[in-house]
Amino acid sequence: MILATIIANCIVLALEQHLPASDKTPMSERLDDTEPYFIGIFCFEAGIKIIALGFAFHKGSYLRNGWNVMDFVVVLTGILATVGADFDLRTLRAVRVLRPLKLVSGIPSESPGGSEVHMKAMVPLLQIGLLLFFAILMFAIIGLDFYMGKFHRTCFRIDTKEVMLAEEDKNAEEKSLDAAWYKKKASNSVLKRAKKSKNDLINAEEGEDHFTDISSVAPQGSPFARGSVKSKNESSSYFKRKEKRIRFTIRRLVKSQSFYWTVLCLVGLNTLCVAIVHYDQPEWLTYALYLAEFVFLGLFLAEMSMKMYGLGPQNYFHSSFNCFDFGVIIGSIFEVIWAAIKPGASFGISVLRALRLLRIFKVTKYWNSLRNLVVSLLNSMKSIISLLFLLFLFIVVFALLGMQLFGGQFNFEDETPTTNFDTFPAAILTVFQILTGEDWNAVMYHGIESQGGVHGGMFSSIYFIVLTLFGNYTLLNVFLAIAVDNLANAQELTKDEEEQEEAINKKLALQKAKEVKEVSPMSAANISITAKEQHKSLKTMSIWEQRANQMRRHNRASCEALYDELEPEDLPRLCPLRPDMKTHRDRPLVVEPRDGPILPDHMNATQNTPEEPKPGPSRPHVPSNPQTPQA
């Protein structure tokens, strides 16, 4: 209930509209009538907490918590502003804008004591702000000694001591200065700079390589069940087997690297064709681009059809990139049909095809350092979202505070600046402009001038200074701190992966050297030792190493699942599979009839020599498919 009340109060504060000379709109007058109800609810909340926790004289009491102190100040100032309506209590009413901060204490944190941690983190930030204040004070004193009175030099008559102004004395043109600082348009003498920010769209991979579920990789059922399934597949019709072969071929094609880079090049060419459109272009270029539009649309439609047929509709729409491609292609087809019905009409949907270049981030699967950086940034999204929410609350609070202090005050003889605090949207944009550092000093000069100029409005500059210090120099720089931390994590992950790969290579080389010397490489002792070493290495792995190994296992599982839909007799024709290779469905391992003991996969490579194996007792085995053709 308290959170709903806070949100409703924020909406009421945002709907207020301030007019010059303290005038109010009918809606603002009706909104003022809701203030006693909000004050009553907040007083009830404070009273319940004081009764339950005590007021201030023991540990864990009401005023021992920073959020409760802020709530108490808000409630007390609200009561004073409501009771003392005959006095000028606009400053007390401005404290109402702190109520949105109650959302931070009201929303439950993921970790216990999260709000207290945030309050404790404000202490070093306040210390940094104090240090920055002393630095500003020191340079202000130095500037006072160097430039005191230098900016007010002007031309005057020697006999009468009268100031000569260019607006009044034409003979003094280009020789005199205007000594009134608040009338100078300081912002007009500076070129406007437009700061364009680029959002790096980092997205995950298409996801076709991760569709295989773990249950599909594990052994399914008993050998009798697998035999019955295979016998049923063998009795299928010729056309069904032919369709499976075609689907397998298309699926392997769309998952190949050559197909991926071909589509990416087509997307780049399509983007280039969209980018070269310009005003007053020649007719031949217009006609060529018109034909290229249909060519690219047909190619992308063929790509979508091949993927949907090879992967299946469920697996195709499981990828976010594929869903985006589907929407863009359907929208482009609709745009072409609509342009044929009504010539000259366009919705601009074809421009969205340029966003398909985001597929290039799929290359992170083959670039370890870039993949680690992307994984680190994606894992930090929770912190970034929390910081964005805090920054949004900060902007809302200062926008509402600016409406209370400067609402309807930015009305001058020359003009009314576009950056003002008359309405909530305008206040939000003004605060955002100040946070970006774009002409924030001009907005501060307008605020000082609206409050009486240099003599009576200097205290208004505190609002803009605090907004710049805490917003621009503190909150926005936290994004940079998160990025630097993620870069450090990515570099550490890459280094750990390189060290782990080097250690594994050394261990395998040592293990192979030992196995060559041993007489019985398939002894149970060696298997147990290898299992213990693998288990020990798994325990010593970090979270990042386990994540990298998990991605490699997913890739291997996807490769195995690629051959899942084929018939056993089709495998040697379409793929270089040997009868002794372990496939997705074969459990136990199918090997060729040979003399000697049956060795595991990693032992076959070491024992593969051109010499003929010595005769010995062969170990009986039961192949999963007795009619498996020999390679």
The reply to whether the predicted model has a pTM over 0.75 is no
Q: What is the mean pLDDT of the chain?
A: 68
The whole-number pLDDT of residue 72 equals 82
Say if 1-108 and 236-363 have the same CATH topology: yes
pLDDT at 46 over 80: yes
Quick check: 511 and 533 in contact, CB under 8 A?
no
229-238, 302-311, 578-587, 608-617, range with greatest mean pLDDT: 302-311
pLDDT at 258 over 80: yes
Q: Answer with the residue of higher pLDDT: 529 or 314.
A: 314
- Residue spans of the domains in the chain: they are 1-108, 236-363, 367-540
Question: Residue 613: which residues within 8 A CB-CB, separation 6 or more?
Answer: 594, 595, 596
The whole-number pLDDT of residue 206 equals 38
Identify the weakest region by mean pLDDT among 46-60, 259-273, 426-440, 562-576.
Answer: 562-576
Under CATH, what is the fold of the domain 1-108? Answer: Four Helix Bundle (Hemerythrin (Met), subunit A) (1.20.120)
The band of 262, judged by pLDDT with boundaries at 50, 70 and 90, is confident
Both ends of the chain: CA-CA distance in Å?
73
The whole-number pLDDT of residue 526 equals 53
Distance between CA atoms of residues 108 and 41, nearest Å: 20
Identify the weakest region by mean pLDDT among 75-84, 108-117, 492-501, 532-541.
Answer: 108-117
Quick check: 586 and 217 in contact, CB under 8 A?
no
Identify the weakest region by mean pLDDT among 305-319, 423-437, 594-608.
Answer: 594-608
Distance between CA atoms of residues 531 and 330, nearest Å: 53
Q: How many CB atoms lie within 10 A of CB 57?
A: 8
Residue 408, phi-psi category: left (phi > 0), alpha (psi -120 to 50), beta (remainder):
left
Per-residue pLDDT tens for 72-99? Answer: 887 887 777 777 655 445 555 556 566 6
**Which residues on neighbouring strands pair with residue 163, listed in sequence order?**
156
The band of 529, judged by pLDDT with boundaries at 50, 70 and 90, is low
H-state helical runs in 54-113: 66-83, 90-94, 102-106
The band of 601, judged by pLDDT with boundaries at 50, 70 and 90, is very low
User: What crossing angle do the helices spanning 283-311 and 238-254 adopt, rounded to 10°?
Assistant: 130
Residue 169, phi-psi category: left (phi > 0), alpha (psi -120 to 50), beta (remainder):
beta
Residue recorded with tokens 């019955």: 228
Given the candidates 3.40.109.10, 2.50.20.10, 1.20.120.350, 1.10.3720.10, the CATH classification of the domain at 236-363 is 1.20.120.350
The whole-number pLDDT of residue 118 equals 52
The whole-number pLDDT of residue 69 equals 81
Q: How many Å is the Cα radius of gyration of the chain?
A: 37
The whole-number pLDDT of residue 52 equals 87
Question: Residue 270: which residues within 8 A CB-CB, separation 6 or more?
Answer: 292, 296, 300, 353, 354
Given the candidates 2.40.110.10, 1.10.1610.10, 3.40.720.10, 1.10.287.70, the CATH classification of the domain at 367-540 is 1.10.287.70
The whole-number pLDDT of residue 124 equals 65
Q: Average pLDDT for residues 564-582, to the nearest whole number?
A: 53
Per-residue pLDDT tens for 192-219? Answer: 333 333 333 233 333 333 333 433 433 4
The whole-number pLDDT of residue 439 equals 84
Per-residue pLDDT tens for 140-189? Answer: 778 776 777 666 666 666 676 666 655 444 454 444 444 444 333 333 33
Please report the DSSP string for 474-538 in residue order: IIHHHHHHHHHHHHHHHHHHHHHHHHHHHHHHHHHHHHHHHHHH-S-TT-HHHHHHHHHHHHHHH
Q: Average pLDDT for residues 234-251, to the nearest whole number?
A: 77
The band of 461, judged by pLDDT with boundaries at 50, 70 and 90, is confident
Q: Average pLDDT for residues 224-249, to the nearest whole number?
A: 66
Distance between CA atoms of residues 258 and 357, nearest Å: 16
pLDDT at 289 over 80: yes
Q: Answer with the residue of higher pLDDT: 247 or 490.
A: 247
Per-residue pLDDT tens for 383-442? Answer: 788 888 888 888 888 888 888 888 888 887 777 788 888 888 888 999 999 988 888 888
Asked whether the bond before 579 is cis by omega within 30 degrees of 0, the reply is no
Q: Average pLDDT for residues 578-583, to the nearest whole number?
A: 44
pLDDT at 50 over 80: yes
What is the percentage of the chain residues whose pLDDT exceeds 70? Answer: 52
The band of 615, judged by pLDDT with boundaries at 50, 70 and 90, is very low
